[in-house]
Amino acid sequence: MIRRRRLDARDLLVTVLTPEGKYRAVARGADRLGGTTARLGLFGHVRVQLYRKPSQGTSTVVQVGVEASLARLAAPAIYPYAHLLAELADETTGEEEPTPREYELVAGGLRGLCVHSDPEAVTLAVTVKLLTAAGLALQVGACVTCGARSPLTHFDGSAGGLTCSNCARGIPLPAAAVETLRDLQRLTIRSALARPLAERGAVWAALRAHLEHHVGRLASLSAIA
Ligand SMILES: [Zn+2]
């Protein structure tokens, strides 16, 4: 469940991300349906049955089962990270198109936020992999302006990658932030989480520039960086 909005006193509009795609649906009379409102918790792992009349555009939630409520995601220290992963997945996936990789990343990322000691690191790693799945991988191998391999010292959000000290386009980055961006892009999530992932403020600034140019302004990002 990546988005949940109350339409009125009785109805909810929910967005669920599934391996088969993203679906929006209305839960009608949600409070009366035997606790459906509570079961449709934001960021929860749910099993839903949707119904759509051929003549209608919006599906209706018929049944809800809870696989995992992931209640820890509501904690103030964790919520902003869960919100970012959910919002990014919502912005980078189309409706009802198969999104198995995005589903795996978001479901794994939300579970990881509940158990990992470093939720910020989990969010950084999953954010970069979600961008990659959307065709928006960070260009970290060589300067995106001139092709020089080193030293890379800046991040150009519009070009989506690192630039060299001669071109110096974009945000200046400490060397450790360049290393972190490379680790996040090149390593698996598990391997990236074993690295220091230093200079996170600068790394978030680079990601923010990349996101603003290629995805749009994310409301959730202002609570993090
Ligand atoms: Zn260059």
Burial of 102 (0-12, 13-18, 19+ CB in 10 A): buried
Beginning with the edge strand found earlier in the chain, give each strand of the sheet holding 161-164 in spatial order: 161-164, 152-156, 171-172
Ligand 1 geometric centre to CA of 188 (Å): 27
Q: How many whole angstroms from 134 Cα to the centroid of ligand 1?
A: 26
Which residue has better confidence, 38 or 105? 105
Average pLDDT, the chain: 93
Check residue 32 and give its pLDDT: 63
CA distance 130 to 80: 17
Task: State the distance from the centre of ligand 1 to the C-alpha of 163, rounded, in angstroms.
Answer: 5
Q: Strands (DSSP E) along 72-217, which ranges?
A: 152-156, 161-164, 171-172
> Looking at per-residue confidence, does 58 or 104 come out higher?
104
Cβ proximity of 110 and 88 under 8 Å: no
**Separation of alpha carbons 215 and 219, rounded Å:** 12
How far is ligand 1, taken at its centre, from the CA of residue 144, in Å?
7
Q: How far is the CA of 173 from the centre of ligand 1 (A)?
A: 14
Q: What are phi and psi of 194, to 5 degrees?
A: -90, -5
CA of 141 to the centre of ligand 1 (A): 12
Longest dimension (CA), the chain: 64
pLDDT reported for residue 34: 59
Residue 195 Cα to ligand 1 middle (Å): 27
Distance of CA 153 from the midpoint of ligand 1 (Å): 9
Ligand 1 center from residue 146 Cα (angstroms): 4
Instruction: Supply the pLDDT for residue 33.
Output: 56
pTM: 0.93
pLDDT tens digit string along 94-114?
A: 888 899 999 999 999 999 999
Instruction: State in Å: Cα 64 to ligand 1 middle.
Output: 53
> Which range has the worst mean pLDDT, 23-37, 80-94, 140-154, 156-170?
23-37
The pLDDT, as a whole number, for residue 168 is 97
Distance 147 CA to ligand 1 centre (A): 6
CA distances from 197 to 87, 142, 151, 177, 210 (A): 23, 20, 19, 8, 18
CA-to-CA dists, residue 146 to 5, 96, 139, 153, 178, angstroms: 46, 39, 13, 13, 17
169 token code pair = 């386009």
